Chains A and B, each alone.
Chain A
Amino acid sequence: MAEYFTLFIGSVVVNNFVLTKFLGLCIFFGVSKNLNASVGMGMAVTSVITLSSILAWIVYHFVLFPFGLTFLTTIVFVVLIASFVQLLELIIKKQAPALYNMWGIYLVLIATNCIVLSVPLLSVESDYDFVKSIVFAVGSGLGFALALILMASLREKLAYANVPKPLEGTGIAFILAGMLSLAFLGFSGML
């Protein structure tokens, strides 16, 4: 049990995907202008990462590994995840239009995103079993959501601040992310 807990905390804060591994930056800077959008995005990313990790684990352990095709991992995962997200979008659009109106737009954005691809790749690389890879995926997704929501709240405050002109927008957002990353560095001794 303790093992799973360590893995979970590790992936949420200590090895936060955005702030210590720089994955998913495009979404991170694109969506964090607005708090509501970032909550939606965080949830969408968490669910997509979890589902595609499960799928990728099954494909890797029942197809790629037994047949000695592990050198195709990158290609297979990219195609698998991109098509899976498209499929998910179609299903949600048909079955739950209300949900689609809320989250649909984010699904399109994350179809080929580095964070969604890297979580399954990393869990295959680290040789996690089925339960561990799910814990890792949920933790990484929540860590991403946490960083996104923190950043969005800060940027809403920043709208009232007096920022030097050349740094407005992207520039100050990066410096702010640096400060957040510095704060998250404090977790590094925890485990």
Chain B
Amino acid sequence: MIPLAYYLLLSAILFACGVMGFLIKRNIITIFMCIELMLNAVNLAFVAFAAHWQNLNGQVFVFFVMVVAAAEAAVGLAIIIAVFRTRETLNVDRVNLLKL
């Protein structure tokens, strides 16, 4: 079969991409997509372990992660819409009214 390490490596790379995007990108939607990417990378790792150790706990936990991701996406998009309505921009650097 495919060795566990490959899955984990893929998961790590995806997670790293997510983190880099989260830190570098300026568009709010893009940042959200990177967050989703990180969550899915983690899902991959969970499923890989579940398959490797033949333990269903990993897959159950994936469900939890997906639920949380969905909820968080809903709330987050609602916030983005509210912010967009006031600031007229999706550039995260412009949302800086609390700046020093």
* A and B from one complex: no
Q: Which residues of A contact B (CB under 8 A)?
A: none
